[in-house]
């Protein structure tokens, strides 16, 4: 019996690129607890992380630091307040780590620097014995202070 040719390989044609959501994530208590907007945003963050991992030729999307801005989320229908609330919810449930908070910079380059994130696996521990993440870690967005437009001393 001969081996099947590549074109004869069984499978489902998904019609292009896709972002799979593993069953262990979608069936987890943490994912079930997420609001609809947070679950939707998580898929976009996974897509961003996997794109960076693919470009860097890394096998694991949890090793990469990626940025995701409000401008990108706005394309998919997120308001600024919904985006921020969803990011905080994803962080508190253990789906993302915040590497650095972006915003306006005091450097020579005027403008905004995007926040950096990393996918996280703390969601696996979510459940009956879950201790709120904010009790052990400082809230990443708490210390965020941006200079105001008229505050030229910080520029």
**38-76 pLDDT per residue, tens:** 999 999 999 888 888 888 877 777 778 888 888 888 999
The residue that leads in pLDDT, 105 or 38, is 38
Report the side by side order of strands in the sheet with 66-67: 66-67, 116-119, 96-100
Nearest CA to 30 out of 76, 84, 96 is that of: 96
Which structure tokens are listed for 5? 């040719």
pLDDT recorded at residue 141? 63
pLDDT at 92 over 90: no
Helix axes 36-55, 80-92, angle to 10 degrees: 80
pLDDT at 15 over 80: no
pLDDT recorded at residue 100? 81
Q: pTM for the complete prediction?
A: 0.73
pLDDT at 118 over 70: yes
| Domain coordinates in residue numbering, the chain | 22-141
| Beta carbons within 10 angstroms of residue 38's beta carbon | 20
Looking at the chain, the whole-number percentage of residues with pLDDT higher than 70 is 66
Q: Are 34 and 82 in contact (CB under 8 A)?
A: no
pLDDT recorded at residue 2? 61
pLDDT at 153 over 50: no
Nearest CA to 117 out of 39, 28, 52, 22 is that of: 52
């Amino acid at each position: 019996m001969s081996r099947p040719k590549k074109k004869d390989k069984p499978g489902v044609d998904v019609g292009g690129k896709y972002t799979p959501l593993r069953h262990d994530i979608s069936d987890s208590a943490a994912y079930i607890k997420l609001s609809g907007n947070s679950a939707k945003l998580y898929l976009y963050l996974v897509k961003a992380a996997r794109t960076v991992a693919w470009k860097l030729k890394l096998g694991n999307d949890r090793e990469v630091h990626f940025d995701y801005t409000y401008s990108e989320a706005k394309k998919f229908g997120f308001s600024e307040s919904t985006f921020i609330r969803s990011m905080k919810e994803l962080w508190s449930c253990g789906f993302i780590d915040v590497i650095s908070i972006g915003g306006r910079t005091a450097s020579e380059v005027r403008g905004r620097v995007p926040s950096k994130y990393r996918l996280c696996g703390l969601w696996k521990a979510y459940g009956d014995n879950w201790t709120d993440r904010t009790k052990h870690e400082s809230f990443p967005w708490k210390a965020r202070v941006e200079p105001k437009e008229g505050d030229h001393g910080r520029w």
